[in-house]
Amino acid sequence: MTTPTTRQNVPARPDAAASARRPYAIFTGLAVLFIFLQSITAGNFIEDGLSESAKTVWTDIHGGFAYPIMVFSLVAAVIALTRLADAGALRFAALALFVLTVAQWLTGHAISGLGMDWITPFHVALAFVIYGLAIWLSIRSAALRRIAA
């Protein structure tokens, strides 16, 4: 003989992916903002007619933007990989953004610190890839937030 069991009404646990969409969107947005700011400073330090001290200042500003970009893209990638299981390709694109920003930082230091100017075309091309990926991730992030609403 079986005894009937009754299900207790247990409140559903909030969807982890839904609760992760907002922080993911925030950190992706911050990374995109700093990518944009860094792109504004790109090239300001190679202008003809600038003093060496002005070029150094612009180089430092441009390079300084790399650190928040790497931090924010790392946090966004961790959130995407650990809490956005249903986001598909976005998870790996977020990780790719972090990896590419680290590669960009390394090429920038090779140019400015080691004088390897021949890397500049690769650095610039990589910047365009990062810019495009960041814009795509930002658009996908907004789409994810609309789905959750």
Residue spans of the domains in the chain: they are: 17-43+51-148
pLDDT tens sequence across 72-106 = 999 999 999 999 888 788 999 999 999 999 999 99
pLDDT tens sequence across 15-50 = 657 788 899 999 999 999 999 999 998 877 667 778
Inter-residue contact 20 to 79 (CB < 8 Å): yes
Is residue 10 predicted with pLDDT exceeding 50? no
Residue 39's contacts (CB-CB under 8 Å, 6 or more residues apart) are: 127, 131
Question: At residue 148, what is the residue type?
Answer: A
pLDDT tens sequence across 127-142 = 999 999 999 999 998 8
Record the tokens describing residue 42, joined without a space.
């790109």
Is residue 11 predicted with pLDDT exceeding 80? no
Question: At residue 48, what is the residue type?
Answer: D
Residue 60 gets the label, from left (phi > 0), alpha (psi -120 to 50) or beta, of alpha
pTM of the entire predicted model:
0.82
Considering only residues 10 and 106, tell me which one the structure prediction assigns the higher pLDDT: 106
